[in-house]
Each structure stands twice: as C-alpha cells, then as structure tokens.
Amino acid sequence: MSRQLFFFDQPRRFVVGTVGQPGERVFFLQACDDARTVSVALEKSQVAVLTERLEQLLDEVGTRSGIEAADEIAADTDPLENPVEEEFRVAAMGLAYDADSGLIIIEAQAPAESVEAAEATLLEDTEEGPDALRVRIAHGAALSFIERARRVVAAGRPPCPLCNQPLDADGHVCPRQNGYHRQVQLEL
C-alpha cells in the first residue's frame, strides 16, 4: 500500500493533548507549522512510554555530547489547535537522534499489515507501508514536549490507593476489595 508520510522539520508546535473529560479522553500527538496541522490518536500509556524514552534519549545525548538541560523551558499550556481531526491511530512509535543535525526524530506509525512490515518501515524513507507522522525537533522542543506530556498524563483520574486503577467520581469495583464497590471522595 502507498504510504502517506506527514513530515515536519522543526515544526512551530509539537505537543500531546487530549479531547474529552477524564475517563473519556482521547490523546493526540499534534504537529503544526504555518501551512498545516496533523493530529494522530494514541493511548495514554503510549504517551507515558514515549515521554519516558524521550527523556532517556535526551539524557544519553547529553552525556555523550555535553548538551546540558535548559534551566527554563517554555511551557506550552495552550489547547490543541483546531481542527483536531485524527489522521490515524498510532500502532508503533520510533525514536532516534540525528547526530549530524543535532535533532531528535519521533515517528508515530499507523497499524501495519505485520510486525515485520512495521519494523521494516519505522523511521525509514520507503514508499510502501503504513502512514506515519515524522517530526524532527531540537533539544529544547523535546524538553518542552516532555514537560507538557507529564502534565497531560497526570491530569487524568487519580489512581485507587489499593489497586492503582483509575477512580471514577462514583468510585469503582476494586479487585483488592474482593469485588466490593469502593466509594472514594474525589475533588475534580
């Protein structure tokens, strides 16, 4: 199948954000430049893993190249840009560092026909394969992305202190309580 690659080289904005209320939120990666906005949907857990791996990559790059973390990070607290139209749902992600340019490469890929097809096309310039969003960002933009992603993930429903599953305003059926309903007062 012919591949559509949404490529952004140091976009004006690259963020994670949500649409909806906690418990019903849809997470999006969104890249914007002056001419276009591309949004792809993903799971909260994918955002958390991407954030963790991106932080590890920046630490490794900093250790090897001597790039130090910025003291002040420009906080992006604006909502996602409209229209928020899902191009695809993310099935696989790739992360790399381009030593020649000093830029971080993040790729989010739509579902592939097979695991082998996904591995063969992730972070590669091929004409065939699943659609992908590929973004190249500078160190400071990556730090800003991490900061915002942490806030977005943490803004969801708080976890149950017993089972760590998300709590609803009405409580939930807690497996650690042998299936009894656990009523918890939440401040939303």
Q: What is the mean pLDDT of residues 110-129?
A: 88
**Cα four-point dihedral sign 174, 154, 94, 80:** positive
Domains and CATH numbers, the chain: 5-156 (3.30.2450), 158-188 (no CATH)
pLDDT digits (tens, 9 = 90+) for 39-97: 999 999 999 999 999 999 999 988 887 766 665 677 889 999 998 999 999 999 999 99
Which of residues 75 and 30 earns the better pLDDT score? 30
Cis omega before residue 83 (within 30°)? Answer: yes
Rounded to the nearest integer, the mean pLDDT of the chain is 88
pTM: 0.84
* Whether the Cβ atoms of residue 140 and residue 158 lie closer than 8 Å to each other: no
- For 168, left (φ over 0), alpha (ψ -120 to 50), or beta? beta
Compute the CA torsion angle 83, 188, 23, 54 (nearest 10 deg). Answer: 70
> Of residues 171 and 19, which shows the higher confidence score?
19
Structure tokens at 176: 């650690």
| β 172-173/181-182 pair status | antiparallel
Report yes or no: 39 and 28 within 8 Å, Cβ to Cβ: yes
